Structure 1
Amino acid sequence: MPTITVEGRERSYLLEVPKNPQGLVLVCHGFGGSAEDMRGWAGFSKILDAHHFVFAYLDGLPDAKGKRNFQVEYQFQDTKINDVKFAQLLVAQLIKQYKLDPKRVFCTGMSNGADFSYYLARQSKPIVRAVAPIAGCMMVGWDKTLTAKNRIPIMEVHGTKDAVTLWDGDLKNRDGWGPYYGTEAVAAHWVKSLALSERDSKTSGKLTRTRWGTKRDATEFVLYTIDGGGHDWSAHLEDPKRSLAEEILGFFEKHSEK
């Protein structure tokens, strides 16, 4: 597994490179997962050559219990670990190595990896063009340190019965991660910050797609709500013949600057 040194620590990742690579997608696993596991079930490998993205599966560092994770300011995390710097250095290296378009860098992830997608989107100088968090959230503490004004398109998928990243959030910190916003509050936060005034919604079965946009530019927040859905990476969304991986790449391609 290739590595890169970040502030004195060896950081590992996995790569999948298509023919004629043009853009880059960072893929981030959930709490306790790994880059190898994420590559195995996310579904991007099956459609690698149908698109032009290099996929970089990031490995979080293990905590005291051996659980790999990305630092997003959970109350118990080691704030000395700089996963943002890891992403920044890796992106710079891969852009140079494969001659990629720096305006076609994206991030997706599951659970803790989804939180990290949001975390990257709120940096003062974001390296990502758009993000697709799956079952993710935003910590309340970010409001003191990060910005929500970056005009970054977001696609979130979340189940209403998610028992890990709760749909309604955990402002009282009952689960010990630290206070975090609920899914609708996260959406409202971005909608207000980005002045997204246009809204449309469509429901089909247990899936509701709600989109907020603006005539100003292509910035949008798209929320896929799965009624009764849990904490998982869905097989598909509206089209059963189109995998979640394909939906994510379609969203990223929509927001690729040519």
Structure 2
Amino acid sequence: MICCALCTLLLLCCAREKSVALIETAPPIAAPAAEPTSSTEPTSVANPTSAAQPTTIADTARPALNVQKWTIDGVTREALVAMPNASLVASTGSPVLFVFHGRGGTARQVRRSYDIEKLWPEAIVVYPQGLRTPGRIMDTAGKQTGWQVYADVVDNRDLKFFDAMLASMLADARADANRVYSTGHSNGGGFSYLLWSVRHDALAAVAPSASAVPADMLTKPLSAMHIGGRNDSVVKFALQEATINAARACNQCTIEGTSVGSHGTMYGSRVNAPLLLWITDGKHAFDKSCVPPMVEFLRAQLRDASKMPTLR
């Protein structure tokens, strides 16, 4: 009897160890503990698809995602990628939207905030994971994850990452080159503004939230949406207004706007680059009320668009 009991106990322990091992094979993406300093993998980004095969991450509340990885200058970068059902892919390919988290955030966290796939099931949605990055005002030591917001800093590692991700989506995921978009909150919104500045020709539109950049960064017209809160104490609304004014000037917007939804104002453009403002009385936290009008606005934008979108 004692021998049988011992055997049973050993079997239970082995089963428990096996169960734990299975759970740990697919953990959620989290902020990296430290940036890698070296790698034996190729450092070239000319062929970003040479990275490891995607790993599926299960999520009971939402469709399964792929974790895709790229090696950029010897550092492994990754993103959560939601692919549309094959039946929803148009003959011209799928729109692709990059969603960048804020400082200290994660790819999975920003996905929960935006939840784009429910409103835009035909789109490829990419949620990249940032590295520890020094901030301009906050976190100057770079202890938190984030993104560069100026060109020619941190060796342009995030711009290189964007280029590699976009190349993969165009080459392997049937993305439509005329329907490439970027959004992000706070520091992620600042990176979206940077993409407007230095990757203008690759984009159809951007939709930054709670962010601001110097006016001289915006020199080429691009359809855009800006989301902001008048009581933002992190990125002061006065700074956001200065960025909005720069965007209106760059896009040659009309003086008068048209009301859109509960918080929106649409400004037409003489150069087919409309600007939608979504301004609430909120603070710095991401305002989910902006997501439906954002999706509707972005859906209407093409790199060669000749018509201003009509929103309900």
Partner of 1:178: none
Alpha-carbon distance between aligned partners in 1 of 2:113 and 2:200, rounded to the nearest angstrom: 31
* Superposition map of 1:1-258 within 5 A: 1-19=67-85, 20-21=88-89, 22-49=94-121, 52-63=122-133, 66-73=143-150, 79-123=154-198, 125-139=200-214, 143=216, 146=217, 148-168=218-238, 182-202=239-259, 208-214=263-269, 216-227=270-281, 229-236=282-289, 244-256=290-302
Helix, strand or coil for the counterpart of 1:15? Answer: strand
Q: Distance in 1 between matches of 2:259 and 2:179?
A: 29
Are the structure 2 counterparts of residues 59 and 139 from structure 1 closer, same or farther at C-alpha, using a change threshold of 3 Å? farther
- Of the structure 1 ranges 8-17 and 218-227, higher mean CA displacement relative to structure 2 is found in 218-227
Q: CA deviation at 1:88?
A: 1.3
Larger RCO (CA within 8 A; separation ≥ 6):
1
Map Cα deviations across residues 141-179 of structure 1 (whole Å, 9 max, x no partner): xx3xx4x232211111101101111101xxxxxxxxxxx
Partner SS for 2:127: strand
CA contact (8 A) 2:114 2:288 kept: no
Question: What is the alpha-carbon distance in structure 2 between the residues aligned to residue 156 and residue 221 of structure 1?
Answer: 8
* Matched positions, count: 225
The amino acid that maps onto 1:73 is Y
Q: Is the 8 A contact 1:135 1:231 kept in 2?
A: yes
Structure 2 CA distance for aligned equivalents of residues 203 and 217 of structure 1: 21
Q: Which amino acid aligns with 2:265?
A: T
8 Å CA contact retained: 1:73, 1:79: no
TM-score by length of 2: 0.66
Contact 2:221–2:250 under 8 Å retained in 1: no
Residue 48 of structure 1, CA deviation: 4.8
Distance 2:266 2:120 in 1: 28
* Greater alpha carbon shift after TM alignment, 129-138 vs 186-195: 186-195
Q: How far off is 1:223 after superposition?
A: 1.3
3-state SS, counterpart of residue 198 of structure 2: coil
For residues 102 and 124 of structure 1, the distance between their equivalents in structure 2, rounded to whole angstroms, comes to 13
Q: Deviations over 1:207-239 (max 9, x none)?
A: 54333222x343112212212x11122132xxx
Query: Structure 1 length as normaliser, TM-score?
Result: 0.79
Distance 1:40 1:60 in 2: 16
- Structure 1 ranges of 4+ moved more than 6 A: none
Deviation digits for residues 1-34 of structure 1 (CA, Å, limit 9, x no counterpart): 3211122221111100112341100000000001
Change in CA separation of 1:121 and 1:203 when aligned onto 2, cut-off 3 Å: closer
| CA positional deviation for 1:66 | 4.0
Q: Secondary structure at the match of 2:203?
A: coil
The structure in which a higher percent of residues are helix is 2
Name the counterpart of 2:60: none
Gaps in structure 2 of 5+ consecutive residues: 1-66, 134-140, 306-312
Q: Partner amino acid for 2:225? A: M
CA RMSD across the alignment: 2.4
Instruction: Among all aligned residue pairs of Structure 1 and Structure 2, give the percentage whose two residues are the same amino acid.
Output: 24
Q: In the alignment, what sits opposite 1:179?
A: none
